[in-house]
Structure formats: structure tokens, C-alpha cells
Amino acid sequence: MDTPPAAARAPSSAERDRTLLEINNALIANLTRDALFHAIAGALRRVVPFDRTAAFLHDAARDVLQLFVLESSLPSSYFAVGLELPPSESHVGRVFREQRPLLRRDLARERQFPAEEAALADGVRSYVIVPLVARGRPVGTLAVASTTPEQYTEADVVFLQEVANQIALAVENMKAYEEVRALNERMQAEIVRRERAEAALRATLAEVEALRRRLQDENVYLREEIRREHDFVEMVGSSPALLALLDRVDSVARTDATVLILGETGTGKELIARAVHDRSARKERPLVKVNCSAISAGLVESELFGHVKGAFTGALERRVGRFELADGGTVFLDEVGDLPPDTQVKLLRVLQEREFEPVGSNRTVRVDVRVIAATNRDLEAAVREGRFRADLFYRLNVVPLPVPPLRERRSDIPQLAAFFLARYAARFGKKVNGLSPDAAARLLAYEWPGNVRELQNVIERAVVLARGPVLELDRELPAPARAEVGPVPGPAPGLGPAGLVGTLEEIERRHILSALVQSRGVIEGPRGAAAILKVHPNTLRSRLEKLGIKRQGHEFS
């Protein structure tokens, strides 16, 4: 850029005043550094020619002078925005430290610092640097440079210092503005962060509350289960039909397959469901039972899938359904054949998708549950008659487990009778030693339409009414059975020479042997005889020794 030498130009005082006014207006009108410095450079160039002008600001935290803004027509690999110079080792630093202007008339003849070598390499021959001082505190420097030697005079230095004084105040204000803006941005970011943290905390608290409610619901359910006397008994017996069923239970328990338990009333379908659950990987989670026939059609969907507050008249609060309660565990749907058609559709979706919506809610709940269903109905006939969905039946009937009625496992009747006799004699404080031969024969001859539950009730009633050490069943069995079974002069077949007559110790001996048959001679472990009898293995060994039960090969006698 060709500019006249200093002697050839002499701006008037009016021109300099107009320039100062223009710079002042620019300082007032512009807040961003690039726009401000561009306006200052444009006004300044009309009075003080330059090929490069720059402002350096001091970073007190790192004690460096940083090239803050630059207007230049000179290419340079050294002078660029962001350049940092130490205050102690640069021409810019000297001006900053001493707070005195520096005028170089010709860099070809006078230069002292490495940065001046770089400037000369860019073509700079003369320059002026003046300090930026705001409120008595140095904040940086302002520089103009030219490729023409002897370009600047002392008058230029004085004028540039006036300009610098104006710029220093503006820079101070600008830095304050940028600090306030940065602080505001940080505050806004902090507000957003806190809002997100509060939202996350609210979500966490909601999740904790949901878990608390679920735990509370589980506790209520489990307390109800504990209070309720189970209408099933331990798996007593060693008949081939029962042992075959137990083998199948062992096989299916290791999987997550849906199970359909089929059997008459009183055969112990819930017992089989519990056996499948207790032998599965879900045994640490709850087994939640739902008796589908005991719930009215209008409430069964709410019972299974829950409801939200206000979903229907009487829904005063949110209720967790049995499927959500059993998440991670097992749902046992007893009498599944009694489900109404609408609920069958929703149950099918749970089996297929593992998800549902509570009554009155659009929120989808996903669950991880195993489904075990049971029925005493002929579901295939119900499908043919249109009372039960065929697709639901096929989904439930993945692994059918038919439970044999008691009349098909008559050899288990003596062991079951002995078990119930010992239980109720201890419960009611009765000194009952056994059954008469006639009573034992009646038990074997009876058809047991109510299966094991009916046998249980008969023995309980007989123990309650017993007047001596030997039970008689003259009034306990229904009239048809008494008519079919006449007096039996000797012991009943298959019961040994004394039938069921004997001491409680003999009854206990038979019960332990039955458990050993079920466990295949194994005493310890989750499927051992001790677990079946619910006693400690050492206690069982002590009883074996006391009762004289010894192992012979793989069998006990």
C-alpha cells in the first residue's frame, strides 16, 4: 500500500477531532469486538495511514498478551488473532509493562525483539504501539504498522494515545459485557442442568415410589398368602402316575415355557404350579396366584392388569395388577377357562408381546413373567363351542401337565391318609394312633370325586370327631361309598397286615419312606427328602436312625 511520508501529510486539528468523535460514536454503537474494531480502523485510517493495526489484551490469569483483534492487508504466518506474547520478552510487552508508547521509525535499522524480526519479514518498516490504560490499570496495547519507513511522527503517537484512551474504556466495558454474558450463559446452563437434574430426580423419586408401592403390594399379597391356609398338600405318594408327573415337572421347570395344568378339582394343581416355580430360575421372585373363577367378570381385568385412579367408579387410587406384581416371577392363573372373552384377548397379548395397558391408562407396561395356567374344564371342547379363544388355548397349551385323579393313584391313599392323620392329630391335640381296618378299606374302595382335597377333609373331620385312639369312618364318607363297601374282616389290600392301624411313629416312618421314594434316595439338596419334608438334613438323618430306616443299595427300608 503506497502512503505519503509523514512530512507530506499533516491532518488538521479538526480532522483529528472528527476522527475522535467518529471513534467515540463507534464505541457507543458497537458492542462486539470485530464490528467495533473494524469501525475504529476505518475512521483511524483517514488520519493515520497503516497497513496493519492490532489490539493486544492482557490475560491476567496466564500473564500473556493475546492478539485480540487484527485489521491487516499484509499476509503473515506469525501475526494472527490468538497470538500470545510474554510481557517480558516482546515489544508489545515492553509498552504494556512501562505504560509508555514505542515508536519505531525504521525496523531495518532498529529492532530488538524476535517479534520485530517477524514483523520485518512481513514487510513492516515502521510502527507505533501505545498502551491501553483504563481507570489507571493497563489492559493491553494498540498498534499501527506501515510498510513505509519514517511513516509516523510524535504527533501521531500523541493522537494514537488519545484514541487508545477511548478504546481502553470501551475494551474494559466490552470485557465486562462479555463476562456478564458468559456468566449469564453459565447461569442459563446451570439452570438447564438443575432443571434436568430436578427432572431426573423427580423421575427417580417416581420410580422409587412405584417400587415402594409395588413392594407394598407384594407384601400385602404375601401376607394374604401366609394368612391363607393352602388348600393343597405336600406331594405325598410314590405311585407310578405321580412319579411320572414329577419327572415331567422337573423337565419343564428348567425352561420358561408356558404350562397348562389339567386336572379335576382337588387334585393339587396349585401344588404342581408351585413345584414348577420353585424348581425354576424364577424361584426367588414371587409366584402370584389368580383364581379366575373367584373374580367377577367386571373386575377380572383390573385384578390382572391393574387400573389407574378414576378408571371406574370405586377406583379411588392406582392399583398394581397381578401381572405387574409378578414381574420377574410367575403368574399362576387358576381356572383360566372361566376368563371372560374380553380378558382372553388381553391375556393373549401379554403372552405374545409381554405388555399391556392398565385399565383406564394409555401407558404400556412391559413385564417379564412366566405364565402357568390351570383348569378343570375341557378347554378343547370350550374352543369348539366358541367359549374359549383357540389362539389363546394354543398359547397356553405349550406344555400340558395332566394331574391324575386320586382314583388313578390308589396306592398313594395310605400314605396320604397317614400324612393327614399325623397333621390333624398334632393340630387338634388328639391321641389318635391310626385307622381301623374297616376304615382303611373304605378309603381304598371309595372313588374320591373330590380327590385329595376330599380325602383331606374326611380325615380332618374324623380326627375332630374321634373318641378313641383308632379312627372309624362310619359317618365321614358319603352314603354311596358306605353302601358299596361292606364290613371288611381283615386288613385292606396293599396296606400291610395292620392296614393303617399303628402308632404315629409308624405313620411318620411311612411318610419318610414316601419322601425318600420321591427324592430317589437323596436326602440333601433342593429336591432331597429333607426339602420335601421341610426339615433339616441332620434332623432327617436322626429320625432315620431312630426309626430304624436303613439304606439298602439305592433304596431305604
Q: What is the pLDDT of residues 34-57, one digit of tens each?
A: 777 777 887 788 888 999 998 899
Other Cβ atoms closer than 10 A to 16: 18
- How far, in Å, CA of 290 to CA of 523, rounded? 33
- 8 A C-beta contact, residue 147 and residue 119: no
Average pLDDT over residues 241-270: 92
What pLDDT score was predicted for residue 257? 94
Report the pLDDT value the prediction gives residue 32, as an integer from 0 to 100: 66
Beta bridge partners of 85: 65
pTM (two decimals)? 0.52
- Sign of CA pseudo-dihedral 203, 206, 210, 212: positive
- What is the average per-residue pLDDT within 26-31? 66
Chain-wide mean pLDDT for the chain? 82
pLDDT band, very low/low/confident/very high, at 499 (cuts 50, 70, 90): very low
- Mean pLDDT for 103-115 is 91
Higher pLDDT, 474 or 145: 145
Cα 368 to Cα 354: distance, rounded to the nearest angstrom: 7
**Mean pLDDT within 492-496:** 37
Residue 76 vs residue 511, higher pLDDT: 76
Tell me if 331 sits within 8 A of 270, measured CB to CB. no
8 A C-beta contact, residue 303 and residue 322: yes
Domains and CATH numbers, the chain: 6-181 (3.30.450.40), 240-404 (3.40.50.300), 408-518 (1.10.8.60)
The DSSP 8-state label assigned to residue 77 in this structure reads S
Say how far apart CA 56 and CA 120 lie, in whole Å. Answer: 19
Q: What is the rounded distance in angstroms from the CA atom of residue 177 to the CA atom of residue 200?
A: 34
* % of the chain with per-residue pLDDT over 70: 84
| pLDDT single digits (tens) 266-318 | 999 999 999 999 999 999 998 999 998 888 877 888 888 888 887 677 767 87
162-193 pLDDT tens trace: 888 888 877 777 777 778 888 899 899 999 99
**Residue range 200-217: average pLDDT?**
72
Rg (CA), the chain: 49
Pairing of strands 126-134, 102-104: antiparallel
Q: Out of 4-8, 252-256, 329-333, 399-403, pick the least confident.
A: 4-8
| Region at 520 (left for phi over 0; alpha for psi -120 to 50; beta for the rest) | left
Comparing 393 with 23, the larger pLDDT belongs to: 393
pLDDT confidence tier of residue 218, bands split at 50, 70 and 90: low
- The phi, psi pair for 340, rounded to 5°, reads -70, 160
Indicate whether 338 pLDDT > 60: yes
Q: Is a pLDDT exceeding 60 seen at residue 481? A: no
Q: In angstroms, rounded to a whole number, what is the distance separating the alpha carbons of residues 500 and 494?
A: 10
